[in-house]
């Protein structure tokens, strides 16, 4: 399959998610910037997918990453980030969102399972109320220690200085 076909608009994603759910499949949703894909991301996304039958990623647009992470980010443009994520076999859809939070996207898709990293308390996860109200569940996943985009960027900068 062409990984670019997994990158969908909100409207297309909504119809696809509804179709999967109508077939009895459990849809897992998570979101993030995924600026430099690393082992921590892959481990997290694979564990998220294993919680259900399909994995949908809400991906921050370039504008929203800059607002959230600062003017030097993202390091890779949104199309590059989306295509890299879509190439992972356990990722079924990638959908952009430009807002500061994925609440509108979660409200449009109504996944069965909402997932974030364990650095969040389940009750504080954006969209948790929407998913729970629809009968879904909210889960957290532990990160692989020592892996973060920020840490990788710092290591690269340190290497360049030396």
At residue 150, the pLDDT reads: 76
Q: Is the pLDDT of residue 122 over 80?
A: no
- Give exposure, 104-141, as e/b (b: 16+ Cβ within 10 Å): ebbebbbbbbbbbeeeeeeeebbbbebbeeeebbbbeb
pLDDT grade for 151, boundaries at 50, 70 and 90: confident
| 96 DSSP β-pair partners | 59
Sheet holding 27-32, edge to edge: 7-8, 93-97, 54-60, 27-32, 113-117, 137-141
Q: Is the pLDDT of residue 147 over 80?
A: no
At residue 123, the pLDDT reads: 76
Q: Which domain holds residue 113?
A: 3-161
**Mind listing the pLDDT tens digit for each residue in 82-107?**
999 999 999 999 999 999 999 999 99
Please tell me the total count of domains within the chain. 1
Q: Whole-model pTM above 0.85?
A: yes
Residue 126: which CATH number?
3.40.50.620
């Amino acid at each position: 399959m062409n990984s670019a076909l997994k990158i969908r608009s909100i409207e297309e994603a909504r119809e696809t998610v509804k179709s999967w759910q109508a077939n009895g499949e459990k849809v897992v949703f998570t979101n993030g910037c995924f600026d430099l894909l690393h082992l921590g991301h892959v481990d997290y996304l694979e564990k998220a997918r294993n919680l259900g039958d399909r994995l949908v990623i809400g991906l921050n647009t370039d504008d929203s990453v800059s607002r959230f992470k600062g003017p030097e980010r993202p390091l890779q443009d949104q199309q590059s980030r989306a295509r890299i994520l879509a190439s992972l076999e356990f990722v079924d859809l990638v959908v952009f969102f430009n807002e500061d939070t994925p609440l509108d996207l979660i409200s449009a898709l109504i996944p069965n399972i909402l997932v974030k990293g364990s650095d969040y308390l389940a009750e504080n996860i954006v969209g948790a109320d929407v998913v729970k109200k629809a009968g879904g569940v909210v889960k957290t996943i532990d990160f692989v220690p020592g892996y973060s985009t920020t840490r990788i960027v710092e290591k690269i900068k340190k290497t360049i200085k030396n």
